[in-house]
Amino acid sequence: MFNILVVNMSENSRIIPIGSDHGGFELKQYLIKNLSEAGYKFKDFGTYSTESVDYPDYIHPVAKSVNDGLYEKGIVICGSGQGANMTANKHQKIRSALCWDTEQAKLTREHNNANIIALPGRFVNFDTAVEMVKIFFNTEFEGGRHQVRIDKIPL
């Protein structure tokens, strides 16, 4: 007998992979709670407590899942957002954008077709972060001259 793993992309495209280290844990939980109530669905890659961990261990799996096409866009969080952003951007098909306000979240979708939003858990208002995520996941890429530019990013 064959065991065939069928990944339902249309279903997965509505699920948001999310991961953080301890510095981003509280914001991750806040986003999952508040956005789940608004109908968003998440795949939580951890971490699952405020115990100190190494952010690449939790950010790489999120970035890999988007890079592999399992999910469309994701969220990574650490204390400053910097380490999470750097880690995610090591994946060839990832364009991760460190965002700290709603305008950044909108622009990086419109101009960079960012597929991961990196958030600074210790430097952003949590309700602002909720708004940033809503905007990030509901703003379309403009294409055109911006497509030409993002095509020049990969080495």
Q: Which is nearer to ligand RB5, 126 or 141 (CB)?
A: 126
Active site residue 60: no
Q: Which is nearer to ligand RB5, 87 or 113 (CB)?
A: 87
Minimum distance from CB of 1 to ligand RB5 (Å)? 46
Question: By the criterion CB under 6 A, which residues form the site for ligand RB5?
Answer: 21, 23, 55, 78-80, 82-83
Cα angle: 58, vertex 96, 75; to 5 degrees: 50
Closest residue to bound ligand RB5 by CB: 83
- Bridging pattern class, strands 41-44 and 116-120: unpaired
Minimum distance from CB of 111 to ligand RB5 (Å)? 24
Minimum distance from CB of 13 to ligand RB5 (Å)? 29
Q: Which residue has the tokens 């949590």?
A: 126
Active site residue 99: no
Q: Which of 78, 91, 99, 146 is catalytic?
A: 78
Q: Which is nearer to ligand RB5, 19 or 23 (CB)?
A: 23
Q: Output b/e per residue, 66-95; b: 16+ Cβ within 10 A.
A: bbeebbebbbbbbbbbebbbbbbbebeebb
Spatial contact of 123 and 65, defined as CB atoms under 8 Å apart? no
d(CA 48, CA 152): 37
Query: Catalytic residue positions?
Result: 78, 111
